[in-house]
Structures are given as C-alpha cells and as structure tokens.
Amino acid sequence: QKEVEQNSGPLSVPEGAIASLNCTYSDRGSQSFFWYRQYSGKSPELIMSIYSNGDKEDGRFTAQLNKASQYVSLLIRDSQPSDSATYLCAVEEGGGADGLTFGKGTHLIIQP
C-alpha cells in the first residue's frame, strides 16, 4: 500500500514569512514528485514537480527532494494571503502512465 503522509495543519504563517510544507512517502520506487495547490471546491493546480535529489526553485517556490529519506518539501518565500490553500503532495511510481498517490494535504493559512 503506497502512502503519502502530510501534516494536515492548519499551518499558520505571517504574511511575508517563509512557509515550509513537508511530505514523506512509503514507496521507494517512486520517481516523480509533485506539489499541488487546491482551493476549497476547486481542482488541484500544479505548483512544482521534482524528479531528482536536491532543490528546485521556481519563483517564490522551492521544492526539495531527498530520496534516501523519502522526504519531499515545499518552501514558499514571501508568503502572500493568496497562498492560503490546501497543499497536496503527490507521488508517482513510474512515468506519465501511472496515477498519482496523494497525501491528505496541509491547510496553509497566511495571516495578513
């Protein structure tokens, strides 16, 4: 049984600070890792994808992957109230033909 674990939160962060979201996964064979943002009642929106160990930066977002520790994280710099949402960590075992295993998500609240 593939599992993806996230702290459900809520995680409350002051505006302008760094929000740090964490995720662990059980399947060592996983190759692809994703962070999605989901607003209430809406479909997930892809924020970042990462495939190899290390850091990947895209604007205010940085994804970090450590396959040895089976750990993925997402850092959001200069947090804005519009970043308030549920952040879903998703893992894919193989290629684009495999479905994603999602964590339950972390509810992030950015306090103005």
Partner 1 sequence: GAVVSQHPSWVICKSGTSVKIECRSLDFQATTMFWYRQFPKQSLMLMATSNEGSKATYEQGVEKDKFLINHASLTLSTLTVTSAHPEDSSFYICSASSGAAATDTQYFGPGTRLTVL
The Cα–Cα gap between 52 and 66 comes to 8
Report, in Å, the least distance between residue 92 CB and partner 1: 7
Q: Are strands 61-66 and 85-92 parallel, antiparallel or unpaired?
A: unpaired
Window of 11-19, 39-47, 62-70, 71-79 that interacts with partner 1 by CB under 8 A: 39-47
Chain centroid to CA 104 = 11
Query: Stretches 15-23, 36-44, 62-70, 73-81: which one binds partner 1 (CB under 8 A)?
Result: 36-44
Decide whether 95 or 112 has the Cβ nearer to partner 1. Answer: 95
Tell me: does residue 103 bind partner 1 (CB under 8 A).
yes
Using CB under 8 A, which of 56, 61, 75, 102 touches partner 1? 102
3-state helix, strand, coil in the chain (%, to 5): 5, 55, 45
42: left (phi over 0), alpha (psi -120 to 50) or beta: beta
Interface with partner 1 in residues 42-101 (CB under 8 A): 42-46, 49, 51, 88, 92, 94-101
Residue 25 · residue 86 · CB < 8 Å: no
- Given the rule CB under 8 A, which residues bind partner 1? 31-32, 36, 41-46, 49, 51, 88, 92, 94-105
